[in-house]
């Protein structure tokens, strides 16, 4: 059963690198923002998978905290791109 999660983790890491390529080469700021948000979401899923594989439920709490930070940071960056300041 853990082999499935290990393979899923490897696929997630590969797709994170694809999103990282979009962050570096992206055509615009909106595409880069979406790619960074996607990397954060995939990192959260990866933390949950690692917590399940090693039997550490504390990773779920860390993933939830990281999800909150990711969401707030994405909203702040979107507002900054739209208005030019975070006011």
pLDDT tens for each residue of the chain, 87 residues long: 778 988 998 999 999 999 999 999 988 888 898 999 999 999 999 999 999 989 999 999 999 999 999 999 998 988 888 888 777
- Write out the two tokens for 41: 């979401």
Give the CA count within 13 Å in the CB-facing half-sphere of 9. Answer: 15
- Structure tokens that stand for 6 in this block: 């290990």
- Tell me, what's the pLDDT at 38? 94
Q: Is 35 exposed, middle or buried (0-12, 13-18, 19+ CB in 10 A)?
A: buried
Residue 36 near residue 74, CB atoms below 8 Å: yes
pLDDT of residue 26: 82
């Amino acid at each position: 059963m853990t082999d499935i999660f290990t393979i899923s983790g490897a696929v997630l890491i590969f797709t994170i690198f694809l999103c990282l390529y979009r962050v570096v080469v992206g055509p615009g700021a909106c595409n880069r923002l979406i790619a960074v948000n996607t990397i954060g979401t995939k990192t959260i899923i990866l933390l949950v998978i690692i917590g399940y594989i090693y039997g550490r439920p504390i990773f779920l709490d860390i993933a939830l905290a990281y999800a909150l930070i990711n969401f707030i940071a994405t909203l702040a960056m979107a507002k900054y791109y739209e208005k030019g300041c975070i006011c």
